[in-house]
Amino acid sequence: MEKKPIVLSGIRSTGHLHLGNYYGALRNFVEMQNDYDCRYFIADYHSLTTQPDPSVLNPNVRSILAEYLAAGMDPDKCTVYVQSDVPETCEYYTLLNMHAYLGELEKTVSFKDKARKQPNNVNAGLLTYPVLMAADILQHKANFVPVGKDQLQHLEMARNFAQRINHFYKADFMVLPRPYEAKGEPIKIPGLDGSGKMGKSEGNCIYINDDDQTVIKKFKKAVTDMTPTEPNSEMNEPIKNLFYFLKLVSAPEVYDQFLAAWNDCSIRYGDLKMQIATDVLKVTAPIRERYNEIYADADYLNKVREQGAEKARVEVRKNLDELRQYMGFRKF
């Protein structure tokens, strides 16, 4: 049988998934599982970089696993696991760290961002966050990594580490991972507060678990501006963001209709927001309904988790042993 390309991706376990996670990642996870050898995990080690209360760690992992499954991820088609259930990752990470340099780590946008946001907790885990992420990817020899635009720099670093290691050991055993977006361009879901991305630490999220009224309320509060007075005016950022959403979630003819209304100055922002909220809910409401049932079923979740870890560990062990060999760890 022909070997399918390997896909690896993950989401940090910091609470419920939001629309950025869904459109930037999860949607692709589900679409890709039929055609690729997919391995998806929940990044609970990564979540520790912000030092969460230990009591939330476990429920957060559980809710993301339930959200993965509720969105249509099938554990019989792909490998679904929790990062800390595959402790080989830590060894791989240690080995990779020896080929990662302070200068490049300090320059990472996400590190600079976090160091600014949590100046009293600039821990070593934050600095080496991209190395742990590279370990996640390279230990699977992943060909593709479906991620949103915000993770592209980390992925580029994983490629650099792989290339560097191949060069250093004069071999080509490391696979260079590439980003993947099923619909073409990498996605960046904006916040509805006018600028920037939707993100947990930005506090501007619409969660896939939000009920109908909450989603509608959040969209209603989205920042807009005066309605245009000149035909074919340039859009400012908050309006561009709403149109970006509209293009992503609504039918092309609906998009065209609102664009025409913008261009002839007849647009009503209330209608635009309601349209987006309604089309978002078409996607999220069925996931939310399945979620509650799955979340309650601890036996099922534990089974999925164990089965996933078992499968992942076999693959990862093989690749870790190979790296160990190249680095010189051998029997006498």
**DSSP letter, residue 98:** T
Q: Rounded to the nearest whole angstrom, what is the least distance from the CB of residue 96 to ligand TYM in the complex?
A: 13
Site string for ligand TYM, 190-209 (x = CB under 6 A): -------xxx----------
Placement of tokens 């164990």 in the chain: 306
**3-state SS of the chain: helix, strand, coil percent to 5?**
60, 10, 35
> Of these, 34, 86, 117, 147, which contacts ligand TYM (CB under 6 A)?
147
Q: Of 240 and 268, which CB lies nearer to ligand TYM in the complex structure?
A: 240
> Of these, 7, 9, 37, 44, which contacts ligand TYM (CB under 6 A)?
9
- Answer yes or no whether residue 145 interacts with ligand TYM by CB under 6 A: yes
221, two tokens? 């509060």
Q: Rounded to the nearest whole angstrom, what is the least distance from the CB of residue 241 to ligand TYM in the complex?
A: 11
Count of chain residues binding ligand TYM (CB under 6 A): 26
Catalytic residue selected from 112, 197, 311, 331: 197
> How far from 110 is each of 127, 128, 129, 179, CA to CA, in Å?
9, 11, 9, 18
Residue 147 contacts residue 182 (beta carbons within 8 Å): no
**DSSP letter, residue 41:** E
> Of these, 11, 80, 86, 174, which contacts ligand TYM (CB under 6 A)?
11
Residue 238 contacts residue 262 (beta carbons within 8 Å): no
Q: Rounded to the nearest whole angstrom, what is the least distance from the CB of residue 84 to ligand TYM in the complex?
A: 12
Q: How far apart are CA 104 and CA 235, in angstroms?
A: 37
From the number of C-beta atoms within 10 Å of its C-beta (0-12, 13-18, 19+), residue 241 rates as buried
Q: Can 200 be counted among the known catalytic residues?
A: yes
- Answer yes or no whether residue 79 interacts with ligand TYM by CB under 6 A: no
Q: Which of the ranges 68-76, 132-140, 288-296, 301-309 carries the binding residues for ligand TYM, by CB under 6 A?
A: 132-140
Q: Of 10 and 308, which CB lies nearer to ligand TYM in the complex structure?
A: 10
Q: Which of the ranges 52-60, 99-107, 160-168, 183-191 carries the binding residues for ligand TYM, by CB under 6 A?
A: 183-191
Q: How far apart are CA 83 and CA 44, in angstroms?
A: 6
Q: Can 114 be counted among the known catalytic residues?
A: yes
> How far from 108 is each of 235, 241, 291, CA to CA, in Å?
31, 26, 35
Q: Which of the ranges 30-38, 184-192, 237-245, 271-279 carries the binding residues for ligand TYM, by CB under 6 A?
A: 184-192
> Of these, 189, 280, 309, 323, which contacts ligand TYM (CB under 6 A)?
189
Long-range contacts of 164-171 (CB under 8 A, 24+ apart): 164/99, 165/96, 165/99, 165/323, 165/326, 168/99, 169/326, 169/327, 171/326
Q: Can 197 be counted among the known catalytic residues?
A: yes
Interacting residue ranges for ligand TYM, rule: CB under 6 A: 8-12, 20-21, 24-25, 43, 46, 133, 136-137, 145, 147-148, 150-151, 154, 187-189, 197-199
Catalytic residues: 114, 197, 200
